[in-house]
Amino acid sequence: MKYKRWNVGSPAEADIERLRNAGYSYLLATVLAARGVTSPETAAEFLERDRNLSLSPMLMRDMDKAVARIQQAISNGETIAVFGDYDVDGITSTVLLLDYLKSCGAACLRFIPHRIEDGYGLSCDAIRGLREKGATLMVTVDCGITGNEEVDYANSLGLDVVVTDHHECKETIPNAVAVVDPHRPDCPYPFKHLAGCGVALKLILALGGENREDALFARYCPLAAIGTVADVMRMEGENRIIVSCGLEGLPHSDFVGIHALLKEAGLLGKPVTSTQIGFVLSPRINAAGRMGEADLAADLLETDDPARAEELARALCELNRERQAVEQTICADAMEQIQRLRGEERSALVLSSDRWHQGVVGIVASRLSEKYSCPSFMIHLKDGVGRGSCRSYGGFNLFSALESCADLLDGFGGHELAAGFTIPEANIDAFRTRMNRCVRSASGGAAPVSSLEVDAAVSVPCEMTLEQADELSLLEPYGAGNPRPVFALLGATVDAIQPVGQGRHLKLRLSKGACRFDAIFFSTTEAECGIPAGGRVDAAFYLQANTFRGATTLQLQLIDLRPSLTPSRNEADALDLLERLLSGERITPQETVRLRAGRNQYAACWVALERRLRQGKAEEDRLPYLRRLAAKTGGCESFLRTALALEVFRERGLISMTRQGDRLTLSLMQIQGKADLSACPYLLRLRETAGSEVN
């Protein structure tokens, strides 16, 4: 089980039925109702995709100043430098602004930092180099909002600066000609969640004027869509418009590099979804920046030579394979470090090494945050200085947390979910202590728990069809705030399980009643799964179409699998009988026979229970725990008698047992002498009912 807690939504059946009566399929209606969209009117509004960005870019603070200065530079023949960032958002922002400026006849320079040599954000060395090459105006994209000192330095050299960014601001903003960032406290722009490429797109629309907005939006929204999805922006408002229009325009884009990358990734000629951008295209573009070759990705997107584009696309994919190998090595090393951390150091994982590749630590931080359910801070060390990348978990605001640790840092930037920072190696221990304290304070002192958000359990499995799964695409594009739908099948049976992909993945066959489903569980081995064929399980999954040898069928892409917390009919009957015994209700002689257990069964149950509890207090899911104990006791009615045995042990003072929902918390109690099980009132009642003693 990958997640300790599943938060399974329970939409009202009346809401689902109302939407179905309006013509929505069962699965789509279930997701809509689970997300609070409960009427046909709100559903139609939610699913409608606008074609245009209705908010004027001129609503952004300083947009008028930015437009005026850039147009002046174009008119005067000045050299304009575009200073970007090395991630997907930064690269796409850089390319789309450069493409527009060149189409206006502007002389342009491009600078994307080398991740390892230059670090994150603006740098004085880079600024000086651009000025020496003749630039008189520098426009930043996806960076610059925290570069106060660097902008002052540019001003001292006679280099004007226009900052466009989408990251959080510090108390003071740079002293630039214009600072365009929706997160400025004084910016009235109503939509605050644009990516860096979204802000750059708005700048282009402002530069082009209202008459050219539609044409410019059509040309650049595919690039902006890639950057928006890659930067995990909230998929609502203008982002939803940018990405939905960008996905439609992707196959027809004028950028030949996009087509070359689609071909190399095996997506050319196929419908491209936000999921494929996030998991197929973006990692390949990102790999360039992570491996110190961001210019290679920018060259790919800028080139108009198809042969050159194919060459660069192949190089990007090779870099991505190299990145994957490096990532696996760092991840294994990081997990070894985590094993050595004390308990109070696990609310926030602060890890460091001089062996790690600086460009890859950020993606490893994402993996660790998901695996260990807490914010992660991965620090690459060199010459006594650490360059860190961090990722949030559970809504923890990284930017605010880094601000609270500013006295320990040389610098930082980013937003609430992802950020970067520089720290003296000598300050890392103090940073770890303070950050762990900060996370515990934000969570009220509670230990982090890995949680999976499930839209709903499927109550009508026969409605899970390929056609209904296809209709879920109406919810696209997916992203933060509008995630890909997650369903659960509760109380299913594993009919078959088979390792595939050289043992790295699992193929399963699940059934629920008369319904049968194929499933795939990526990156999980048979040993890690721990559930044999014939086991009763709860499955959490995405629905997808799987094409094999020309045939397309429905497949469940498993996210998690756990021993079922839903009782079978026999288990439910057994637990009901036990509750009747405990509450003093009448028990028939036939039921007494079912409940009566011999000494050997009680002894076997105690041995198995004690072995587990000797390690300390145990918190368990009730049904799977009873099944495991019952398997060790054996015999007829072992599940029922095991459940009774725990109640007898509790009543006799051998164990402490409390139940909260589906969870049991158990611990051993200290007693003097031996406990007389036969004196338990539950067993006395059974003897009275049967008219004979328990053997």
pLDDT of residue 447: 62
First-to-last alpha carbon distance for the chain, in angstroms, is 39
pLDDT in tens, 392-435: 987 789 999 999 999 999 988 877 888 889 999 999 999 999 99
What region does 56 belong to: left with phi over 0, alpha with psi -120 to 50, or beta?
beta
* Exposed/middle/buried for residue 513 (C-beta within 10 Å: 0-12, 13-18, 19+): exposed
Residue 48 CB neighbour total at 10 angstroms: 7
DSSP H or E stretch at residue 505: strand 505-512
Q: For residue range 276-308, what is the model confidence (pLDDT) as tens digits?
A: 999 899 999 988 888 878 899 999 999 999 999
**For 216-272, what is each residue's pLDDT tens digit?**
999 999 999 999 999 889 999 999 999 999 999 999 999 999 999 999 999 988 888
455 burial (CB, 10 Å; 0-12 / 13-18 / 19+) is buried
Return all residues near 170 (Cβ < 8 A) that are at least 6 apart: 145, 146, 148, 403
Q: CA dihedral in degrees (584, 589, 594, 598; nearest 10)?
A: 90
Cβ atoms 127, 138 nearer than 8 A: yes
**Does 525 score more than 60 pLDDT?**
yes
Q: Can the peptide bond before residue 251 be classed as cis, meaning omega within 30 degrees of 0?
A: no
Separation in Å, CA 224 to CA 138, 233, 439, 576: 21, 12, 33, 58
In 569-688, the DSSP E strands lie at 618-621, 655-660, 663-668
**Which of 187, 154, 153, 171 shows the shortest CA–CA distance to 65?**
187
In the chain, what percentage of residues exceed pLDDT 90? 73
Q: Token pair of 266, please?
A: 């095996």
pLDDT of residue 254: 92
Predicted local distance difference test score (pLDDT) of residue 658: 92
| Sequence-distant (≥ 6) Cβ neighbours of residue 63 within 8 angstroms | 57, 178, 180, 202, 203, 206
Task: Name which of 58-72, 98-112, 591-605 the model is least confident about.
Answer: 591-605
Amino acid code (one letter) for 485: P
Q: What is the mean pLDDT of residues 67-79?
A: 98
CB neighbour class for 604 (10 Å; exposed up to 12, middle 13-18, buried from 19): buried
Rounded percentage of the chain residues whose pLDDT exceeds 70:
98
Read off the pLDDT of each residue in 39-49 and give the average, rounded to a whole number: 92
pLDDT at 170 over 90: no
φ/ψ of residue 668, rounded to 5: -75, 145
Confidence at residue 662, expressed as pLDDT on a 0 to 100 scale: 83
Residue 36 CB: number of other CB atoms within 10 A?
11
Residue 565 in tokens: 């917390």
What the block records as the tokens of 191 is: 């939509």
SS3 state at 479: strand
Q: Which residue has the higher pLDDT, 456 or 50?
A: 456
Domains, the chain? 11-35+455-563 (2.40.50.460), 57-254 (3.90.1640.30), 341-451 (3.10.310.30), 569-690 (1.10.10)
Predicted model pTM: 0.82
pLDDT score at 694: 42
Mean pLDDT, rounded, for 505-513:
95
**Residue 695 confidence (pLDDT):** 41
Task: Give 444's contacts (C-beta < 8 A, 6+ positions apart).
Answer: none
Question: Residue type for 407, please?
Answer: D
Give the separation between CA 312 and CA 290, rounded to whole angstroms.
16
CB-based burial label for 378 (10 Å; 0-12, 13-18, 19+): buried
- Tokens standing for 169? 């601001």
Cα-based distances in Å from 386 to 20, 352, 369, 495, 661: 56, 8, 20, 51, 45
Give pLDDT, residue 693: 43
Question: Which of 69-83, 292-306, 489-503, 515-529 reaches the highest mean pLDDT?
Answer: 69-83
Do 229 and 240 form a contact (C-beta atoms < 8 A)? Answer: no
pLDDT of residue 269: 84
The first and second tokens of residue 660, run together, are: 């909260």
pLDDT at 66 over 80: yes
- Residue 562 has a pLDDT of 94
Alpha-carbon distance of 299 to 308, in angstroms, equals 9
Q: What's the mean pLDDT in 337-365? A: 90
Alpha-carbon distance of 6 to 60, in angstroms, equals 41
Confidence class of residue 49 from pLDDT cuts 50, 70 and 90?
A: confident
Torsion angle, CA of 356/359/362/363, rounded to 10 degrees? Answer: -90
| Rounded to 5°, angle at Cα 274 from 269 and 279 | 90
- pLDDT value of residue 362: 87
pLDDT grade, residue 82 (50/70/90)?
very high
Mean model confidence pLDDT for the chain: 92
